[in-house]
Structures are given as structure tokens and as C-alpha cells.
Copies of this chain bind each other. A is one copy, B any other.
């Protein structure tokens, strides 16, 4: 489980969460049992003002044994920031479609690949681990479906440059189980190992857990999620974005998988974030648990059902 709430979550929230709170949340997520926590993104505050405090968060987040902190780095300058903050892992990112690449970072895929190669090489030479994000794999807001050959070639390019894992992103939440199966099969067929893959599903249309289930059955063992389901969908205000860590933990544990996450503690962490940003977070398990806690405080009499 790869916790992206403080990065992918907060970058899509309107509210600015104070720096010390971010640092406290990172610690609380570790306390709840999360072992891979993406802290922030070393991008320009002009692009993502919510993460303008990236250097301080990355530097001051309390280190602990067994917990890996990472940060997104878009270029060499971002990598320098991550190194200065003493991180041991960084993540690079690119789009699987030309149009999204041009709209998102103003570069065609070929140029994006060159930057990623440069950053990854430099990071590896500094002894960092590098993770790769490939976005809009399951559908692009401009092009619709993205060709599977394109996805396959880009995953190979990322693995070849040395990322230890490629996280396949359903950026706009249109992915479905059939696609997870087709894409993972094609990647395996072309020589990619399941251990080199992660799924980064958005729950915009409610299919995130069905997609995770399909990935799980295809041998994938790493799934990205955001506590509380933090972070809306950038294309649809009010709609859900990131898969919620609580929902993922609930399903995996119910199915007998060990996540190491203490769900009750995690619910309390997300409840605190809700209070801070002043809106209900979309995690269904979070809301069900909070409703049960509220009920337990009132009375013990269950109501009728049909």
C-alpha cells in the first residue's frame, strides 16, 4: 500500500493545510501502520500552491524505521530539493497520451521521457530509489482510450531507465476490470514482472476496488490510495478522486490479506483531516465508521431494516 494522500490528495484540495499539520499527518499515518508515504511534490508553488512548503515538509517529517517517505520530482531541480531534504525515494511522472502530456506539462511524450531519464539517472547515482507514475493509462480526457502498445512501450521505457515500480494511473477514473486484465496481461506477455507494477486507481465512478480486485488476481501487490479518499477529481468538482485507503484496507483485510494498517486509527486521522479542511471526505468506510461511532455515543438500540 502506497499512501499518496498528502501529495495527490492535497494537491487537489482547495484548502491549504498548514505545514506543521502536514508533518503531523505524516507521523499519524505512520502510527496507523502505513509504510510507504508520499509526502509532497517538488513542483513550483505557481503550479500547486497547496504544496508550496514541500521542502520543509520533506525535511521535517519525522523519520521512523520501516517507513519510506518519498516525493514527486518533475525535474532535476525538484530532485535537488528532495536530496537536500534527505529523502531516500523520489517519484517521476509522465502521461501515457500525447495530448495529456502537452496539456499537463507542456511537453510531448518524447521530451518528457528525456527529462525522466535524466532525473532517474541522477537519482539512482545518488543512491535513491525511483518510482514511476504513468498517468491516464486507462483513459485520457482528451483522447479517450489510450493504445495498449503505447502503454506497454512507456512501461518498458520507465523500467529500462531504472524505476523499481511503475504505478499505472487511472487519472480520470474511467478504468474498469476488463482493462486491468488486458493491460496487465499485455505487460506480462512483453516481459514485465508483476512486482514492477502498481495500480493507482481513482474512484470517480466507483470502480476502484473492483479494479484493485482484478489487479490482485493478476498478481499485482502494490496499490496507491489516499487516506479518507482525500483529493477530488480535478475534472469534476464534487466528484470523488483517489481511492480511499480505508476502503482498500477494509476490502483487503476482509479477504484475508494483511495490510498492517490499524483501520480505527486511520479513521481518526482522516476525521481530523475532515475537520481541518472543512468538508466530508469521500471514503465510504470512513463515513460508515464515523456514523457508527456517533451512534455508539448516543444509544445502543439498532434501528429496523428491510
Chain A interface residues toward B at CB < 8 A: 8, 11-12, 41, 43, 47-48, 72, 93, 100, 103-104, 135, 141-142, 171-174, 176-179, 203-210, 212-214, 233-240, 244, 247, 250-251, 254-256, 283-285, 287-288, 290-292, 295, 302-306
Chain B hits for A254, CB < 8 A: 174, 176, 178-179, 207
- Residue with the greatest number of chain B CB neighbours at <10 A, chosen from A48, A72, A233: A233
Q: Assuming A203-B206, A251-B207, is B141 touching A302 (CB within 8 A)?
A: yes
Asked if B209 and A142 sit within 8 Å, CB to CB, the answer is no
* Prevailing SS type, chain A contact patch: mixed
State which of B178, B237, B239, B240 has its C-beta within 8 Å of the C-beta of A256: B178
What CA separation (Å) do A232 and B176 show in the bound complex?
25
- The smallest beta-carbon distance between A67 and chain B, in angstroms, is 23
Number of copies: 2
What CA separation (Å) do A268 and B286 show in the bound complex?
29
State which of B178, B206, B291 has its C-beta within 8 Å of the C-beta of A247: B206
- The smallest beta-carbon distance between A219 and chain B, in angstroms, is 16
State which of B251, B287, B295 has its C-beta within 8 Å of the C-beta of A210: B251
What CA separation (Å) do A72 and B305 show in the bound complex?
13
Closest 6 CB pairs of A and B: A236-B291, A176-B254, A206-B247, A206-B284, A239-B288, A209-B210
Chain B hits for A210, CB < 8 A: 209-210, 212-213, 251
What CA separation (Å) do A54 and B235 show in the bound complex?
41
- The smallest beta-carbon distance between A141 and chain B, in angstroms, is 6
Chain B hits for A290, CB < 8 A: 238
Asked if B255 and A304 sit within 8 Å, CB to CB, the answer is no
